[in-house]
Amino acid sequence: MQNPASSRPVLEALAASLGETVHLAVLEGSNVRYLDAVESSKALRVASRTGSVVAAHCTASGKALLAALPEAEVSALFAGRALAALTVRSTTTRSRLQAELRQVRRRGYAVNVGESEEGVTSIAVAVRGPRPAALVVSGPVARMTDETADRIVSELRERAAWLEGQLRGAT
């Protein structure tokens, strides 16, 4: 994403529509950096991670972005490195990560349930472009039902497609 500010209206619209915190993240090596966020207005919410860097293998945003890469590139990113756990649910083996990324590629979105932070569920889709990014919706596990997740995935896909169109038009 060349200009994160261009995605701000999308983040605001998603947060207003879904009622959860929305982030924009990019891949930095084997980590993700959160570039921007719009927090939920609910009392119980996921706080903004803007500026934070987190291990990609423990986040929905990271998995969405890693899944957009060829398997060989993902293998090279993690070659000879241990996958550190952020919680007891974190992925800690390269074989499990590759299996999860194959699933993300098949369904077109990534999910994280308590892998980067206990009690938090996140759903992400990749936004393809000159500098790929991920749109991520995060909320408390208790509010992230299957029905809610279906709605989130639908809206994330719609907004990601719109951003990709904007990026194509800008080049």
The overall average pLDDT reported for the chain is: 92
The residue-averaged pLDDT of 143-147 equals 92
Provide the domain limits for residue 49: 4-170
* Per-residue confidence (pLDDT) for residue 170, from 0 to 100: 61
Domains of the chain: total: 1
CATH number, domain at 131?
Answer: 3.30.450.40
The model's pLDDT over 26-84, given as tens digits with 9 standing for 90+, comes to 999 999 999 999 999 988 899 899 999 999 999 999 999 999 999 999 999 999 888 99
> How would residue 129 be classed by pLDDT, with cut points 50, 70 and 90?
confident
Region for residue 61 given its phi and psi (left: phi exceeds 0; alpha: psi -120 to 50; beta: otherwise):
alpha
Other Cβ atoms closer than 10 A to 2 = 11
The residue-averaged pLDDT of 119-131 equals 94
The residue-averaged pLDDT of 82-107 equals 95
Angle between helices 94-107 and 71-78 (to 10 degrees): 150
Of 66-70, 116-120, 157-161, 164-168, the range with the lowest mean pLDDT is: 164-168
C-alpha–C-alpha distance, residues 54 and 156, integer Å:
21
Please tell me whether residue 130 adopts helix, strand or coil conformation.
Answer: coil
pTM, 2 dp: 0.93
Answer yes or no: are the C-beta atoms of 60 and 123 closer than 8 Å: yes
> How would residue 1 be classed by pLDDT, with cut points 50, 70 and 90?
low
